[in-house]
Structure 1
């Protein structure tokens, strides 16, 4: 098996999460919305997992709605708030997002133009950090919602959420955070935001499950974007997948307990990897400097080397990626890198890696050896 270093797309499944899910696939199969004993046991397991996730982000369990992932949570947060504003007569029609948001945020926001909303994209600096001065000029009393991610999914840049929140609050705007890449990797305090999207498979949990945090103090709650049986407080209908939720809860518990240890481990491995590249005289450029990026995350440009060629040649030995995994297969430059000021050519020379909880020092060394062989000196 190749060394897996594509953790911004999907982290490995934690053994604790796998073990927690096991009985819910076969032995315990009750619908958590059914009134019989099997259903009640499943419901209890779901609520235990909800409490574990709430502990990770510092919320009340009842402020969490389970979804199929962060993409769905982003859609509910942005489109749902816009629908709520229209229905309740709130006149604000500006939605401000950073220009390097995940496509599910950008596309959700842009889809609202036909409903009369103005979508404003705030620029970022060379490190992929939202330009606070520019954001302050763009947020006004016409702003309904400000959406800025916790950590960028391509380059790992950490956003100044405290400043974003203060700015939005001063204008009376709601705040949404796509926290998919931050939860479980950074200590997050979401008490001051109104909405936050979460993803299980970005914190060593199973794929196919996520959550939306909706603050009980938020002046406006999102309306559902599709309809059914009214599950999850009427925000997200459909049968809750008990095994996936249980795995999500187990992953959240482990992430909370290992937050500092994981960060130190990932930072140490990424530093070792870079030192090994330097010792082999490999020419590379770090796109985001250390203080501005989440531990373990690397966005590297190898001048004179095409990223897709590097990935293809390394594929049987190391798993790395180029751009966002959600747009893989499309031969287009990363919108994140372009917004950071990169040329199309420079963006095409960039690969991303993430050293996770389950990577080792030999992984870091071996990966450097493989890349040194591919890109030359």
Structure 2
């Protein structure tokens, strides 16, 4: 059996060949960057090269990049580490503001701060899933310590107004963080232009390997308190032996992403539009959840009318890899908090699938995948008994 056509790019992306080669090259010649020998020096050089390439992708300097095990750790370091450090410096600022559609890796650490005396505020989004800037503004005052708004949503693909939100937070003297895991390498990200204090990155969402991410910390920004203690690597902010091969691969993926940014955008935009057009031609009843909001190229969150999306995904699993708008928590299927924030009912949310087309796919695959979706949609209607005349 061949591999399914992969449309689950929000979850992870294929590993770029250049990243694989960089990883294998490092693994071929082991070395610890902390060792005082030639092998250690070569490992340290690989890390430095990787750090420089990741920084270059977002317009930062190498010294502003701290490597982590992934975006989840980077988000935790930004939310918990910054709140604890800033709380000591400014004890009167005890409120953290996050958007309603943030990834759980931002929401959960934010909620955890409540046990440490912090207040958490949630900024709503509009019916398209984009931050409501007027409501966001009303939630900002002199008590605000830190605000966090993701750059691209991981379920809808909607691009958030990060630059505007950062300016509003800074006007009150607050710090600002953005989770850019789904953005870097797909849209232009310039930390100087955005004027963010902290920014989260993930390698495997940028055609790199799983197991490594990074947190950008502006040179002028308050340094977070470390979440772990150890040997003092990375200035003690994130101690532990650096995963040299993963960092080298992250750097390689970043270089490719920067070089191919425009061509990738054009290619992926063309693929998702072709998929949408094919679904329309096959007379499938659906709508794009994001409406007219700007989305990352290649992305679509689609509500299929009268279709059980989980059933559909199960039916085509051998042919097409998709994700739905539901999440399994403690063995129970519940509606995504993102779709709830947009205002979708439980029934409507059950019909949502999320799609991301990647740089290595072609039109033939997309048309084939669309055919499987249409065929399975009809079968899923019958399975759920939800027939619409």
TM-score (norm 1): 0.97
Partner of 1:60: 61
Cα offset, 1:19, TM superposition = 0.8
1:195 aligns with 2:221: no
Unaligned runs of 5+ in 2: 382-389
Give the alignment's Cα RMSD to 1 decimal.
1.4
Cα offset, 1:33, TM superposition = 1.6
Identify which of 204, 208, 226 aligns with 1:205. Answer: 208
Partner of 1:318: 320
Deviations 1:170-217 (A, max 9, x none): 101100000000000010111211001100000100000000000001
Deviations 1:100-129 (A, max 9, x none): 000010000000001110000000001111
Cα offset, 1:20, TM superposition = 1.1
1:345 aligns with 2:339: no
Deviations 1:292-338 (A, max 9, x none): 21111010111111111011011000001013779696511000000
User: How many equivalent pairs are there?
Assistant: 375
Identify which of 263, 269, 284 aligns with 1:282. Answer: 284
Q: Check the 8 A contact 2:128/2:292 in 1, yes or no.
A: no
Alignment map for 1:225-374 (pairs within 5 Å): 225-289=227-291, 291-323=293-325, 330-374=332-376
Q: Check the 8 A contact 2:186/2:265 in 1, yes or no.
A: yes
Unaligned runs of 5+ in 1: none
Q: Check the 8 A contact 1:8/1:354 in 2, yes or no.
A: yes
SS at match of 2:191: coil
SS at match of 2:105: helix
Q: Check the 8 A contact 1:153/1:324 in 2, yes or no.
A: no
Partner of 1:12: 14
Partner of 1:113: 114
Separation in 2 of the partners of 1:204 and 1:261? 15
Separation in 2 of the partners of 1:211 and 1:329? 31
Inter-CA distance 328–65: structure 2 relative to 1 (3 Å threshold):
farther
SS at match of 2:333: coil
SS at match of 2:183: coil
Partner of 2:76: 75
SS at match of 2:67: strand
Alignment map for 1:93-108 (pairs within 5 Å): 93-108=94-109
Cα offset, 1:282, TM superposition = 0.9
SS at match of 1:299: strand
Identify which of 213, 217, 222 aligns with 2:220. Answer: 217
Q: Check the 8 A contact 2:335/2:349 in 1, yes or no.
A: yes
Cα offset, 1:289, TM superposition = 2.8
Separation in 1 of the partners of 2:53 and 2:38? 23
Separation in 2 of the partners of 1:326 and 1:41? 44
Separation in 2 of the partners of 1:32 and 1:311? 44
Q: Check the 8 A contact 2:322/2:354 in 1, yes or no.
A: yes
SS at match of 1:213: strand
Partner of 1:152: 153
Cα offset, 1:290, TM superposition = 5.1
Separation in 2 of the partners of 1:4 and 1:181? 17
Inter-CA distance 136–326: structure 2 relative to 1 (3 Å threshold):
farther
Q: Check the 8 A contact 1:297/1:353 in 2, yes or no.
A: yes
